[in-house]
Structure 1
Amino acid sequence: MPKKLIQRFSPKPETLKAHPHLKYFGEILQNPNLWHLNRRSAAGAVAIGLFCAWMPIPFQMLLASLLAMFFCVNLPLSVALVWISNPITMPPLFYGAYRLGASILNEPIREFHFELSFHWLAHAIETIAPALLLGSFILGVISAASGYFMLRILWRINIANKWQRRNKK
């Protein structure tokens, strides 16, 4: 895997540990496993980041960082992967998740128009939220599992190729 590329774009642990908002975590951030990049920590971080990217909740990065700390996987990578669902990609991702959830629940696809009001939110929670949450959870689990195993396989292939090149010399 492009370990050096990931490390080049990842923030330095010292910078993050010194951040004023992250000082609340104290000793938890001192765990070296949160900053170490190996096959296990990277694959776990990919799984967490992809799963959290599908969650239709605010503060996805906070959820990803808490899960990364709980499972002791690479923190910067898990938080960075949450940005797969950004303001540009969120509408098609969550619409697809809603359609999947609606088809599983045998519900008709409802037309909805976003309004910034409490009335719209209450109505949306009753009508589209169950299908959206189910579809998001299913796609999150599928993405997390496929990302985890894909990274493990690619990492192993990369290591095998390095060994073959080393043995040829």
Structure 2
Amino acid sequence: MIQERIIEIIVYLLQELKRSQVKGNYSNISKKLVSRGYTENEINFAFSWVFNHFQEKRHAPEESLEYSSRSSRVLHEVEKMVIQPEAHGYLLQLRQLGLLDDYEFELVIEKALTLGTSIITIDDIKTIAGSIILGNDLNNQGNWDGFYYPFGSNSIQ
């Protein structure tokens, strides 16, 4: 459950960064997320994950949010019968935002099909994708300490 909520926050953050090109001031985004019912720990973890993830690529998040021009994988007829269109759309969104690479995208589909249910919902995809995207990050208690804003500001320096 917590992984799904964090993935929702991460998706929101990436969309917001892409849409508004916010640089440095993230307090308004945090306030919006709190008003939507997310906890400060969840928000802090999501911010930390986003910036750590894109720092590994040596780019600022705002610069790394280009949508992929690659073609998208089309579901097989059997997969279409099981995976709801909304669930597939959400999975494509995660891929386009760069949260899943090609291998991870296939892994989500594979794990979804092995659930043994007749219908794969968006909640199923959120659960599976959350476990793949976040991996062991949730087990790293240091990440739950919060997102540090130096010198009392809300700007990352």
Short-chain TM bin:
0.3 to 0.5
**TM-score under structure 1 normalisation?**
0.31
Q: Which has the higher contact order (CA 8 A, sep 6+)?
A: 2
Structure with greater helix share of residues: 1
**TM-score under structure 2 normalisation?**
0.32
| Larger-gyration structure (1/2) | 1
